[in-house]
Amino acid sequence: MTLATLVTRTAFERAPDLAPAARPRRVGPDWEVLLMPERLGRLLTSALAGRPARTAPLGWVFAHAGQWGIFLPPESDEPAWPSDTTYLKAGTSLTLPTPGARPDAWPGASGWVSRDGNRLSRPLLVHPVLTALAAA
């Protein structure tokens, strides 16, 4: 390996131990979170893509540890979400990505899939779409 190869590799590759660390947070009080498997999160974001940011039913989306999460207003747990999702109420501990992290930076990375528009998703618009996708 030449010095030029070594310099080029280190300049463009980010070692996993130098990756921005995800940070623990407490959910709430003015938001709660719905976690879902990455596969379901990808289907949901694809189904709701292309809506103008100010009217979009889906708010910010993050990835962490194979799960995708969306922010919801408090008390959005009724009606029940699909069985392969996890609803986190205010006060629950949650790990969020650092502000600039992208989930595609390296395998298993935490990151923000989307931070467009409003932070909170609209549960009455997201629930029927997610329920249909989970049943398919």
- Domain-located, residue 4: no
DSSP-assigned states of every residue in the chain: --HHHHHHHHHHPPPGGGSPPPEEEE--SS-EEEEEEHHHHHHHHHHTTTS-TTT-S---EEEETTEEEEEE-TT---SPPPTT-EEE-TT-EEEE--TT--TTSSTT--EEEE--S-SB--HHHHHHHHHHHHH-
- Domain-located, residue 12: no
- Domain-located, residue 10: no
Domain that holds residue 25: 21-135
- Domain-located, residue 2: no
Question: pLDDT for 10-50, tens place per residue?
Answer: 333 333 344 455 678 899 999 999 999 999 999 999 998 77
- Domain-located, residue 43: yes
Number of independent structural domains in the chain: 1
- Domain-located, residue 78: yes
Question: pLDDT for 44-76, tens place per residue?
Answer: 999 987 766 556 788 999 998 889 999 999 999
pTM over 0.85: no
